[in-house]
Homo-oligomer: A and B are copies of this chain.
Amino acid sequence: MLSAEVEIPIRFSEVDSLRIVWHGHYIQYFEDAREAFGAKYNFRYLEVYGKGYVMPIVKISCEYKRPLKYGDTAIVKADYIPTEAAKVIFKYEIRSKASQELLATGESMQVFLDSDMNLMLTVPEYIQQWKKQHGL
């Protein structure tokens, strides 16, 4: 399983008046984990973009189990979920660095658009090669 992790110290400005992280910020944390994945496995937005593709998010979800507070550090893990389809799927887990407790889970789906912003129904050649290189 290809997987990457990132540590996120919770910022003062991310915490709402109930003193917990506002739920919308988790979507950013998922992106941070995707970027860590991109850096680790050579799958960065800019590289893919340089090849003439974009990979917009078409679906995202998050389940919140326990709150994050100011002063906490979150560990956000992104697992690449292999698929034959012309899609990129990640599952996410957010844990407390201190307690290792599972705080949230999530999932995202991306598709490929070509340089004219048309949906690609088959996996782009560049991504095919990347998958082969990583045993997928």
Contact = CB atoms under 8 A, between A and B. Distances in A.
Contacts of A59: 61-64
Interface in A10-34: 11-13, 15-20, 22-24, 27-28, 31-32
Tell me whether chain A's interface is mostly helix, strand or loop, or mixed: mixed
A56 interface: yes
Contacts of A17: 12, 15-19, 70
Interface of A: 9, 11-13, 15-20, 22-24, 27-28, 31-32, 35, 44-46, 54, 56-65, 67, 70-71
27 contacts: A11-B28, A11-B31, A11-B32, A11-B35, A12-B16, A12-B17, A12-B35, A12-B45, A13-B24, A15-B16, A17-B17, A17-B18, A17-B19, A17-B70, A23-B27, A23-B57, A23-B60, A24-B28, A24-B31, A27-B27, A45-B70, A56-B64, A58-B63, A58-B64, A59-B63, A59-B64, A61-B62
